[in-house]
Amino acid sequence: MIRVGVLGATGYAGAELVRILLGHPDVKIAALTSRQYAGVSFSNIFPSMKGFADIDCEEYRAGSFTGRVDVAFTALPHKLPMAFVPGLLENGIKVIDLSADFRFRDVSVYEKFYQPHTSRKLSEEEAVYGLSEINFSKIRKARLIGNPGCYPTSLLLPLVPLIQNGFINTRSIIVDSKSGVSGAGRSLSLGTHFCEVNESFKAYKVSVHRHAPEMEEVLSEAAGAPVKITFVPHLVPMTRGMLTTAYADMSGKANEVELRECLDSFYRDHKFIRICPENTFPDVSNVRATNFCDIGVKADARNNRIILVSAIDNLVKGAAGQAVQNMNIMTGIEETAGLDNPPFPV
């Protein structure tokens, strides 16, 4: 059994990690940490979990995982993981960080959009960007994963294969994403008050969201040249789910069959990616509470443009699920372990 610890277990991503790990056949939850709820049973904070996670939350202290945790998930606000991760690694604990702290190879970009980085070398030389299907072989050998953001996951999975295969004019990429509210976390804000979100729909952080540079770094690597995108996120009045509609000019002339063929072939051996058949497009309700990314593709021949639509559950493939998938890859167990529960019809 893999002994895991979750730092920051009481946010939505952390709690979703707990849910998935509880159902994982090869895992034992060794520790859940929470500053706010130290000493309180996890199932008192999330009463749904009564009988499943009657585990007292503890406060994380340097060294407190040593000897009892094999893999640590850090589901903490940006900046905290930088402080904790070096110590964890030194004690032989593998780390999957769900914050942005270890997502960037070019740390100067991180510093521009977040804050000064205190663990630059780890980020630049050791951390692996945990986009499971794309970076599979690097993840296998990693001891530190920067787990991707939800928006980047939803864009990169459909786009990277088409870029690598030369279908995309990389100066023309426009990304219009729509997220459920759980992506904003469990902290209180007027923006997540029920009455302000319900029967509402809006764009936010228009072209200034800090997931854009994260996407650009990976796209640039795929393209072998710098890629800049326009990115506009929107908030949908639903709890879970993320849909991304991406637009790009075709680099040459391709038809939809070739585009779908490219995606089909790229993801042939990857169970969590499902390519939709012709004239069929993803719905977030089809991936709810699963680790799937459903992808639809359309060639807009009149405009020589490609339209990509992808759907994920922002808390699963966009956070906790992909983190567990990465743990599975890193520890050499079945990639789908703990993540293959049947989807919901409704």
Nearer to a copy of itself, 93 or 273 (CB): 273
Site string for a copy of itself, 49-68 (x = CB under 8 A): xxxxx---------------
Q: Is 150 a catalytic residue?
A: yes
Alpha-carbon distance of 32 to 10, in angstroms, equals 9
What does the angle CA 223 – CA 312 – CA 314 come to, to the nearest 5 degrees? 100
Q: How many residues bind a copy of itself (CB under 8 A)?
A: 86
- Pick the binder of a copy of itself from 94, 103, 117, 178 (CB under 8 A): 178
Positions in 22-51 near a copy of itself (CB under 8 A):
22-23, 46-51
197 is a site residue for a copy of itself (CB under 8 A):
yes
Among 57, 150, 276, 293, the active-site one is 150
Are the beta carbons of 218 and 244 closer than 8 angstroms?
A: no
* Total residue count of the chain as it appears in this document: 346
Phi-psi region of 138 (alpha: psi -120 to 50; beta: other; left: phi over 0): alpha
Cβ of 306: how many Cβ atoms within 10 Å? 26
Cβ of 243: how many Cβ atoms within 10 Å? 23
CA torsion through residues 229, 235, 239, 244, sign = negative
Nearer to a copy of itself, 196 or 258 (CB): 196
Select from 67-75, 78-86, 130-138, 175-183 the region that touches a copy of itself (CB under 8 A).
Answer: 175-183
- Pick the binder of a copy of itself from 238, 270, 331, 333 (CB under 8 A): 238
- Pick the binder of a copy of itself from 54, 59, 300, 334 (CB under 8 A): 300
Site string for a copy of itself, 115-154 (x = CB under 8 A): ----------------------------------------
188 is a site residue for a copy of itself (CB under 8 A):
yes
Cβ of 186: how many Cβ atoms within 10 Å? 13
Residues 6+ apart with CB under 8 A from 188: none
CB of 290 to a copy of itself, least distance (A): 8
Q: Which residues are catalytic?
A: 150
